[in-house]
A and B are shown apart, each in its own frame.
Chain A
Amino acid sequence: MKFWDILVYAAWSISAVMLVWMVVDAFMISSQYDEEYLMSSREGGEDDVVHGVHLEEGNS
């Protein structure tokens, strides 16, 4: 078997491992965490610098 044939098989295999790993991890996260918690993020997150200024200006 030539080097390039081995490389083709290696590319398929590594791709499969990484894709399966992500799918399995996603399922495990869903089983361990409540959906409401996983989707509880707020827009902008916790930008205390920019949003802090906004709040002050908005309240003034």
Chain B
Amino acid sequence: MAKDKITTSNSKPIAMLKVLNPFHIWALGVGIVLVGEFMGWNFTVGKGGAYASLIACWVIGLLYTCVAMIDSEVTSTVAAAGGQYTQAKHIVGPLMAFNVGLYLVMAYTMLCAADALVVGDLMKSGAEVMGYANLDTKPFVVLTVAFLAWLNYRGVFATLTLNLVITFLAFASLIVLFLSVDPLHQGVILQHQALLTDLPYGWIGVVAALQFGMWYYLGIEGTCQAAEEVRSAGRSIPLGTMGGMMTLLVAATITWFVATGLMPWQYLGQAVTPMYDAATLLGSSQLQLMLFVATAFAAIASANGCINDASRAWFSLGRDRYMPVFFGAIHPKYRTPYRSVLFLVPIAISFAFTGLLDQVITFSILSGLLGYTFMTFNMIKFRKMWPLGSIHRGYIHPFHPIPAITLLTLCCATYFATFLGYGASLLSIMAFYILASIWFVLRRYKYVKRADQFTMPWPRPKGY
């Protein structure tokens, strides 16, 4: 006998499960980022020397602290999947929202592809150490994306609980490495006095280092994608995000301190896995194994968080008809945006199969940077339209508008740094988003239900 389909007439509207807590939010944010502490950050050293790397670490740390503060305030109020996309939709307008949604999807999908490539390369390195040369990395790239997509498909709680465990283990490995170098006694293991030099390329090298300084923190803003699945978003998002930012500042500083005390800047600036190299220099096979596993864990946690965030952003675009509404579906059993998860799998694998790790990462970084630039205007407008006291805020960031102005200034400096090293990429990415905006205005916006856009039960904005 054929069964009737389950419809809205005999069921309540479907919703994602609210099962996450601040620790999951921490794991989502730090999980996406931490791989940057194991590799990538060290290109700052190549751009301007060890001190330039430290300056970039703290200056970009300030940029991301502003991002975390602004994000925490707005997300504690606009508690919906889509994060910055939803914020832009409510505060700025549809075209900005479309662009921000696209930045998010591209940034996370490309970062996921890069993480999967790293897992594949680690497998190849492991095989070489064990005497098997030329291992094909493709099956491990596909396995990484497929397994994490499968996990994301089946539920957010298990997905982010896995992230919590492996992110914590990866972070703990950095602490163990730090303790292993006897940090209180200079000259015993660490050789900062001999290895630290003046700025080899002067202050322009410091500016150039800012671009790769983003590796220390890129992705922490992804915490707000979980706003619709977290219990008490007004409390959990600020706690998880700010806690994550503090963790990353500690991890980034430890990473710089250990690596620059063991390796000359000329080598460190082009190393592929600097933390693994640091463990190798210490001559302990246990430390080597620990850092190898921790690097793999960090890459997997990052890819996992990226699939989670990219799918939520794509789902939100679909739900609001900025993209085909087909992608706005939620799985009735697992309560996940399953079609968006599935849709992004071939895209992530395709990016990964190009093998162009640096181009993929540059696209990801620039998409993130465009998103941070938007946040500054968004924050100013948000406070102007809904001043303090007019709506409930789970968190109020201090010293407004100083963080927004600081963020905009540092974003401009980072654009300049990117232009110095990747001018063609910067211009082509700008062109891509301009073309996408034209497509949205001419071909897509007619499908958007304008009356359904503003869903927050807020009072009328000031001045309207």
Contact = CB atoms under 8 A, between A and B. Distances in A.
Interface residues of A, number: 42
B79 A50 contact: yes
Interface in B330-373: 330-333, 338-339, 341-342, 345
Contacts of A32: 3, 5-6
B392 A50 contact: yes
Interface stretch (B54-62, B398-406, B431-439, B451-459): B451-459
A15 B146 contact: yes
Given A26-B342, A45-B228, A57 B459 contact: yes
A23 B233 contact: no
Given A4-B127, A36-B8, A37-B11, A14 B147 contact: yes
A12 B341 CA distance: 20
A55 B457 contact: yes
Nearest to B15: A45
Contacts of A58: 391, 457-459
Interface in B128-187: 132, 135-136, 139-140, 142-143, 146-147, 149-150, 153
Given A38-B14, A50-B233, A29 B331 contact: yes
B16 A41 contact: yes
Interface of B is mostly: loop
Contacts of A2: 132
Contact of B18 (A25, A34, A47): A47
B392 A54 contact: yes
B134 to A, nearest CB: 10
A9 B84 CA distance: 41
Contacts of A37: 5-8, 11, 14, 332
Interface in A17-60: 18-19, 21-23, 25-26, 29, 31-47, 49-51, 53-55, 57-58
The number of chain B residues touching the other chain, given as a range, is 35 or more
A46 to B, nearest CB: 6
Given A15-B146, A44-B228, A57 B342 contact: no
Nearest to A49: B232
A21 B338 CA distance: 12
A51 B76 CA distance: 11
A44 B456 contact: yes
Nearest to B77: A50
Contacts of A26: 338-339, 342
Contacts of B325: 39
Given A18-B147, A46-B18, A58-B458, A40 B139 contact: no
B46 interface: no
B94 to A, nearest CB: 14
23 contacts: A2-B132, A11-B143, A14-B143, A14-B146, A15-B146, A21-B150, A29-B338, A32-B5, A33-B7, A34-B5, A34-B8, A37-B332, A39-B330, A42-B13, A43-B81, A43-B86, A45-B15, A45-B80, A45-B228, A47-B79, A51-B457, A57-B459, A58-B458
Interface of B: 3, 5-8, 11, 13-16, 18, 76-77, 79-82, 86, 127, 132, 135-136, 139-140, 142-143, 146-147, 149-150, 153, 228-229, 232-234, 316, 319-320, 325, 328-333, 338-339, 341-342, 345, 390-392, 394, 455-459
State the 5 A-B residue pairs at the shortest beta-carbon distance, nearest first.
A11-B139, A34-B7, A40-B13, A38-B329, A15-B146
